[in-house]
């Protein structure tokens, strides 16, 4: 059975994926999650795992933009760098547009549940789409650190919220990629 590595840009991305991906993926002993300490760290880890360990990888990083041309350029560059390191090992790049936190603010129901039913202006909604992490930091003000607050949010997600997030294209594509590489046992 193949082993596959899922490499994230940071701890918050790992926490989000862990909460959103199906449990048979998250708990699969053949899927290893590796957390980078920033975008370039994640890219370097991905290259190293491909070249040295020679196992398939899924690299998930924030695009930090919603501009389609810039996203495609980033994707092409990442694919080029990983192709250079891969001795024919399967890999895929997943760019979160603009950040993985978009999963938490992508639709009205999720936003309202996360913010206790608060209504937002059009400007605030546009801000949420363009800067989802900053939106969460601004509107979920807590004395705790971001990661502690994020863990609390993720712990309180209900089944419907998770299903909504699992329909997001990045999550669906990541799930399909992982399922194509490993055998899963129902949890």
Low-confidence spans in the chain with pLDDT less than 70: 1-2, 141-143, 184-187
pLDDT given at position 62: 97
pTM of structure: 0.92
pLDDT given at position 119: 83
Quote the DSSP letter at residue 56.
-
20 CB contacts (<8 Å, ≥6 apart)?
A: 103, 162, 165, 166, 171
pLDDT tens-digit readout, 158-171: 899 899 999 999 99
pLDDT given at position 97: 95
Please, are residues 69 and 107 in contact by the beta-carbon 8 Å criterion? no
Share of the chain above pLDDT 90, in %: 66
């Amino acid at each position: 059975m193949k082993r596959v590595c899922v490499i994230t840009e940071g701890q918050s991305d790992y926490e989000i994926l862990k909460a959103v991906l199906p449990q048979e993926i998250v708990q699969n002993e053949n899927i290893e999650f590796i957390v980078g300490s920033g975008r370039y760290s994640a890219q370097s880890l991905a290259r190293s795992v491909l070249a040295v360990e020679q196992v398939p990888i899924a690299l998930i990083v924030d695009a930090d933009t919603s501009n389609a041309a810039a996203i495609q350029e980033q994707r092409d560059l990442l694919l080029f760098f990983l192709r250079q390191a891969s001795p024919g090992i399967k890999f895929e790049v997943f760019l979160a547009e603009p950040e993985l936190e978009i999963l938490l603010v992508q639709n009205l129901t999720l936003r309202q549940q996360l913010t206790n039913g608060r209504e937002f202006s059009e400007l605030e909604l546009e801000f949420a789409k363009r800067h989802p992490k900053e939106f969460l930091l601004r509107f979920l003000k807590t004395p705790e650190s971001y990661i502690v607050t994020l863990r609390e949010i993720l712990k309180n997600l209900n089944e419907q919220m998770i299903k909504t997030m699992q329909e997001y294209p990045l999550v669906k594509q990541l799930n399909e990629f992982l399922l194509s590489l490993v055998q899963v046992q129902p949890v």
